[in-house]
Structure 1
Amino acid sequence: MPDPSIRTIRDCRIAGAGGDWDAVRVPRSVGLDVLAILCSRSGAVLEDPLAAALSWFIPPSAAGDWDVPGTRILGEGAHLVIPPPRRTRGPGPHWRSCPGEDAWVTDPAALRAALEDAARPRGMEPTS
C-alpha cells in the first residue's frame, strides 16, 4: 500500500492518505479499548508513540459524515509514517495489529461502533 520509494529513518515510509485508504486516529488510551472490542475484526492498527495515538485504516472517503468525538480523520493531504510490516515495538511508529496482504482496512461501521462503545461511561452499557 505505501509507496516503497519514500523512506524515512529506521526503514519507515511516509504514505499519503486518500488514495488506497484514509485513517482514523484516536488517543492511545481509547484506541487500546477499541482494539480489544474489535479483536479479529480489526485490520492493521498503527501506533505512533510520539502522538500517543493509534490509527486504523478505512476505505477512502468512508468517513465523509464522521462525527465521533475524539477521532481525527486523516484523508487526502494527510500523511502517516508507516513502519516495516512486522515491527511491533518502538521506538517510533509500530504495528499494534500487523497488516496482512488484504487486512489493512477495517470496516468503518465496526470501527465506529467500537469507538462509541469505548467512549461510553462504564456502567452505561445498553440494555436489551
Structure 2
Amino acid sequence: METSQSNDPCAPSATGCDLVTVPTRHGLEAVDILLRGAGDVVGPVLHDDGGGTLGFLVPPGTAAAWDLPGSTCTETDGRGLRPDPGPPVEGSDWLVPPGEADLATDPAVLRRALGEAARTIEAADNCR
C-alpha cells in the first residue's frame, strides 16, 4: 500500500497538489467538458462559495509552468489541499469530491478543456 501512495501525485505522504483556479462559469463548463470527454479524467474540484471560483487539483509542480490567461495556478506546498472528503478551506466545498474522481486532473487535459470552455462561453455570449 505504501508503494502505491508514493506514486499518487496527491497522496497524503506527498507534498500536496497545486490548485488551478478559474471563475465559476468557466470552471463549470470545463468540468462538463471533462466529464463528457474521455470519461472520468477530472480530479477533485473545489468550489469557493464566497469568491465565485472553482479550483482544480493538479499534480504538484504544475504552477511552475502554468500560463493560461483567465486562470491562476498556485503551489500549495502541502498546505491542506490533499484529497480528503471534508472541505479543506472554510467557505468552500467539493464540486467533485475526492474518492469520486482521479487524484488530480492532468494539466494538459485541463488546459484543453478550459480552452474549449472559453470558446463555448464566448459563442454563447455572442448569441444574445
TM normalised by structure 1 equals 0.68
Deviation (angstroms), 1:101: 8.2
Aligned pair count?
Answer: 106
2: CA distance, partners of 1:33 / 1:19: 29
Query: Tell me, which stretches of 5 or more residues in structure 1 are unaligned?
Result: 4-17, 124-128
2: CA distance, partners of 1:52 / 1:60: 24
Residue aligned with 1:103, SS: coil
Equivalent pair of 2:44/2:83 in contact (CA under 8 Å): no
Deviation (angstroms), 1:104: 2.7
Equivalent pair of 2:23/2:52 in contact (CA under 8 Å): yes
Q: Identity rate of aligned residues, in percent?
A: 36
Larger strand percent: 1
| 2:61 matched residue in structure 1 | 61
Within a 5 Å distance, the mapping from 1:62-101 to structure 2 comes to 62-76=62-76, 85=85, 92-100=91-99
| 2:123 matched residue in structure 1 | 122
2: CA distance, partners of 1:57 / 1:75: 10
Give the one of 23, 30, 40 matched to 1:27.
23
Residue 101 of structure 2 corresponds to residue 105 of structure 1: no
Equivalent pair of 2:17/2:78 in contact (CA under 8 Å): no
**1:49 partner letter:** D
1: CA distance, partners of 2:76 / 2:61: 9
**1:22 partner letter:** D
Deviation (angstroms), 1:41: 1.3
1: CA distance, partners of 2:42 / 2:69: 20
Cα shift readout 1:11-62 (whole Å, capped 9, x = no counterpart): xxxxxxx922101000101111011000121110000111110001111112
Deviation (angstroms), 1:78: 8.8
2: CA distance, partners of 1:37 / 1:85: 23
TM normalised by structure 2 equals 0.68
Larger helix percent: 2
Query: Tell me, which stretches of 5 or more residues in structure 2 are unaligned?
Result: 1-9
Residue aligned with 1:29, SS: helix
